[in-house]
Structure 1
Amino acid sequence: MNDYLLFGNRDRASVPISPMTLAVLVLVGFVFAAGMYLGVLLFGTREALPSTVVTCPAPGTQDVAMWPKECPREAVTR
């Protein structure tokens, strides 16, 4: 048999926690959770911004060496 069954819970004394200590622990937990939440909002993964800026030729431009695929072909008047 183990000691718990032999002696009961008399050897385990519970220490009462003061209301002020409990309030401080709850406040610390709330501040930690709020900090984690704000950290995820600020530094979380976001959609990556495009690394290349495409400049389309002006409408009416005739001589273009290579037409960017992001630009509409209808912009050219021939």
Structure 2
Amino acid sequence: MELTERQRHTLGLICDTFLPEQGEQPRATDLGTVDVVAELLGRNPRATERRAFLRLLDIWDSRAFALSIG
């Protein structure tokens, strides 16, 4: 699945929230998690669900969403 640079950045922030860098343990993005997630989602046979995920990343990165959650 092709992600825009902004979508990759947003997904990276989400992944790093769940697996941040701790001591010598690298963060999720350093382990290539964004590429793995994009690859797995790209295998979903339902185009509607793939588009919905991309839209979710776009919304998550929007100013309106940021303002709505404070």
TM-score, normalised on structure 1? 0.26
Could you say which structure has the larger radius of gyration? 1
Higher relative contact order (CA 8 A, sep 6+): 2
Instruction: Give 1 or 2: higher helix fraction.
Output: 2
